[in-house]
Chains A and B, each alone.
Chain A
């Protein structure tokens, strides 16, 4: 459980994090979104005790991060941005170091070590020095390091950055498969990730929260939410006809004149009306589906103020 109240962090005159208040409950997987420089990493650095806030408070399972950092840090597994690790160490030596400093010893260390190595697939590189590893393996070493002590809270700063699509899939799978009592915060600017793994999304921009809700709620803010996508074969389709339907707000036609998107009035469902109108006119539909909403469109709208 993470409790953040009135968190503010300034660097000189620049306010990186501006009065953030939120609470993450046990079992939640929170996607922390925002454009570069929005304050995602700064917030994570404060949560993990690497930076001190200018004002405000953070408590991790009732441990105050500023006053009692070590107790809070015991509860957290943290993957910093860029997954830094001691490059002169071998993967195995590095993970043993992390395990020992986290208080694991003997067989419990060995067991956790084995589990984590399997979980993130590090077996082939255990005896290699970290400096010789590819970006993908380095990232996985960072993840292994964060998971090693089986923490109740995981804070991952861009965990899939620099991974190929297969590795991204693997990491998302891993996060989803974490036991349900863990609290996870992931920062990312890959929006599909939010749909894929998160139970909640929090978008920040210029250090402030602009939206906080489920990925579905986020999608519902898109103008594409419940819009109907159509593709016809044959001539004679008049897109303007759809505008005569009561619940339709707008129609956008692609260059081919046969592919179009019909937008509903907010809160309305238009699939049946659109379909009936097409049937009545004898237009042959080749493709038809209802959009759930586009997160990138919402993201742009919320973080730039631009009406997308």
Chain B
């Protein structure tokens, strides 16, 4: 466990020693503002909630999270530090988890910095703060899912651009499977269990469920299982690359 915390700290150092953290945070905050106020019509809606923010969040994550996750392993491989890291006395699993947790924490901080929106909506009206807290937790879990996918794909290539694009595509698929448009494509011919399975796999479905204000065990489990599965896949990819 000591190895884990050392890795987490080293990763966070890496974010804040370079412009990565600042650029990401600023862009994330600016874009979430733009989405909320211009595209989400925060004021015009006249509703005391943060739906105009949370509705766009998955799309924002779709672009920004792969930018964080692409460097997790590709960068280590490109600069050769992977040889240093993997010959230190920590297991591959610990390294994978440590890097993931640092990235997840960092994205969580960026998410928490949207708190002025929360304050604004409380100042203007009487929102259901329980729903908003639940949605924040759901958003953070969803970010974890994106990051875990990105971790695995980043471990598979030394090229960050490839890691970025692959992650974006896979995450996009995980988002849109829950979309009515996509569901409609399958409805005419696919058996119900396929459609149910597809929508059950969707990040959006589970995020929306949490955004209704109830954190159900199955939604929680869904995100945690997604994270665990993709992190295990990362370990497998790294082990395969040791042998190849």
Contacts and interface: CB of A to CB of B under 8 A. Distances in A.
Could you say which interface size class chain A belongs to?
A: 20 to 34
Contact of A100 (B6, B83, B87, B91): B6
Contacts of B243: 51-52
B89 A74 contact: yes
Interface in A268-304: none
B26 interface: no
B13 A84 contact: no
Given A50-B242, A100-B6, A86 B81 contact: yes
A73 B85 CA distance: 11
Interface in B2-29: 2-3, 6-7, 9-10, 13-14, 17-18
A86 B83 CA distance: 11
Contact of B90 (A70, A80, A86): A70
B91 A70 contact: yes
Interface string A72-88: 01101010101011111
Contact of A49 (B17, B79, B84, B87): B87
Contact of B87 (A11, A71, A80): A80
B81 A49 contact: no
Q: Quick one: which of B2, B3, B80, B87 has the most chain A CB within 10 A?
A: B87
B113 interface: no
Main secondary structure of the interface of B (DSSP, over half): helix
Contacts of B10: 86, 89, 97, 101
Contacts, number: 70
A101 B7 contact: yes
A80 B14 contact: no
A82 B81 contact: no
B169 interface: no
Contacts of A45: 83
A93 B88 contact: no
B19 to A, nearest CB: 10
B86 A50 contact: yes
Nearest to A41: B83
A48 interface: yes
Contact of A88 (B7, B18, B242): B18
A128 to B, nearest CB: 13
A102 interface: yes
B80 A82 contact: yes
Contacts of B89: 70-71, 73-74, 101-103
A152 to B, nearest CB: 13
Given A51-B242, A70-B91, A101-B88, A88 B17 contact: yes
Interface of B: 2-3, 6-7, 9-10, 13-14, 17-18, 79-81, 83-84, 86-91, 242-244
Given A80-B84, A97-B13, 10 more contacts: A11-B244, A50-B86, A51-B243, A73-B88, A86-B14, A89-B10, A97-B9, A101-B3, A101-B6, A101-B88
